[in-house]
Structure 1
Amino acid sequence: MQEEQILLLKQSWSYVLLQGDKIGELFYQTLFWDDPSLRFLFGTDLSGQVRKFMDMMTFIVANLQNIEAYEPELRALAQRHVQYGVLSVDYDTVGDSLLKTLATMLQEQWTPATETAWRKLYQTITRTMLNSLKSPK
């Protein structure tokens, strides 16, 4: 990932963090709107899930220059997702929902360059998670 993209990711995530858990809440609303069948994977109280989403995204963004720092976390997350019933096709829906949520939260700060950076990051996350399910640890 290029330094300019890393800077865009860090700046944009810092901006949405200023709004508290709003991005996490909006992300799950968008996800369930995009694919209502995914709602069954979660309990009725999403506050814990929102916090986990926020914490994981913050950890990843903080470690963008050191993928080795978050690769084990993504592998473990992929294993948990399998146990929860998440399918590989669900990753596309999650990515689309994440990008829509970021676009809504960032508004005029959501530039083509920022979108490209987030798209690339999500592709890296997805590739790492799905590859960890295919190959031995």
Structure 2
Amino acid sequence: MTPDQVQLVQQSFAKVAPISDQAAVIFYDRLFETAPSVRAMFPSDMTEQRKKLMAMLAVVVNGLAKLEAVLPAASALAKRHVGYGAKPEHYPVVGSALLWTLEKGLGDSWTPDVAEAWTAAYGTLSGFMISEAYGRPEAAE
């Protein structure tokens, strides 16, 4: 990721943060719509899960400029996800739901440059997480 892409991700996430609860609902609704089989991996009450998602996104987004500081937490998260039944092929589906959610949440602020920056950020992080969890890197968005 370039420094400009890091800045675009951080600036656009700052616009989504005020509607984080709503964004998390939209994300999970989209994820379960496009990949209904993953619904079983989540609790029936998604309140805490939605909070965890947005908190983790905030940590990652704020740490993009110093990615090495975020990678240990991302590694641990990836390994926990294996225990929940996550597979490498789930990462592109999650990425697609995330980008779709951001596009909906940002409206006119979702530009081609912002989309490219988020795609790069997700690709970098998900590739790392897949490698950590499964021992092999794979393209994930």
TM-score range relative to shorter protein: over 0.9
Where in structure 2 are the equivalents of 1:57-68 lying within 5 Å? Answer: 57-68=57-68
Q: Which amino acid aligns with 1:49?
A: Q
Distance 1:33 1:15, change over 3 A: same
Q: Does 1:107 align with 2:134?
A: no
Q: Is the 8 A contact 2:20 2:54 kept in 1?
A: no
Structure 1 match to 2:73? 73
What is the distance in 1 between the residues matched to 2:52 and 2:35? 20
TM-score (norm 2): 0.93
Q: What does residue 23 of structure 1 align with?
A: 23
- Provide the C-alpha distance between the structure 1 equivalents of 2:4 and 2:65, rounded to a whole number of angstroms: 12
- Aligned-pair identity in percent equals 36
CA–CA distance in structure 1, aligned partners of residues 20 and 120 of structure 2: 24
The Cα RMSD (Å) is 1.0
Note the C-alpha offset of 1:68: 1.1
Name the CA distance, whole Å, in 2 between partners of 1:6 and 1:87.
Answer: 27
2:120 aligned residue: 120
Q: Distance in 2 between matches of 1:81 and 1:89?
A: 13
SS of 1:20's equivalent in the other structure is helix
Match of 1:34 in 2: 34
What stretches of structure 1 of length at least 5 have no aligned partner?
Answer: none
SS at match of 1:7: helix
1:122: how far off? 0.3
Distance (Å, rounded) in 2 between the aligned partners of 1:81 and 1:87: 8
Q: Which runs of 4+ in 1 moved over 6 A?
A: none
1:6 maps to 2:16: no
- Work out the number of aligned pairs and report it: 135
Q: TM-score, normalised by structure 1?
A: 0.95
Q: Which residue matches 1:53?
A: 53
